[in-house]
A = this chain, B = another copy of it.
Amino acid sequence: MKSYQFELSFTVRDYELDTQGVVNNSVYQNYLEHARHEYLKEIGLNFNELHSRGMDAVVHKVELEYKRPLMGDDSFVVRMNAWQQGNVRFVFEQNIYRIPNDELTLKGLVTAVFMQNGRPIRPPEEIVKALRKS
């Protein structure tokens, strides 16, 4: 099995479903964002604190492949890896698996850049270190 640096479990909430009875496509980005921010917290970076210091992690690119729909009452886990790409970019590989059978429901690839005063900056030491270790 593929190995991951971090994972976070969720349960589908009924307000996230649309008329097709499945999780609306846009909601997956909410799940992935929340998982990224929890991952950042684990390595010592708080998204809201960073913002209050004028530093923002800005998403540059999102690629999502929808493999199977999540439905009402489903539980699932977002599993992820992160790595640096060049000087300023980070890539988050974020895949969603339905619990309990570990079916792949979504494959995601999210590229982000840290910005300050409207410009890309060298990323905070915490994230560079965390990625080096992994």
Contact = CB atoms under 8 A, between A and B. Distances in A.
Interface stretch (A11-19, A81-89, A97-105): A11-19
Interface string A5-33: 00000000111011111001111011001
Nearest to A71: B48
A61 interface: yes
B18 A26 contact: no
Interface string A41-76: 100001110010000101111111110010111000
Contacts of A37: 13-14
Nearest to A65: B61
A34 interface: yes
A21 B54 CA distance: 12
B14 A33 contact: yes
Contacts of A30: 13, 15, 26
A19 B14 contact: yes
Given A15-B24, A25-B29, A72-B19, A59 B66 contact: yes
Interface in A70-122: 71-73
6 A-B pairs closest in CB distance = A26-B29, A48-B72, A13-B34, A62-B64, A17-B19, A26-B26
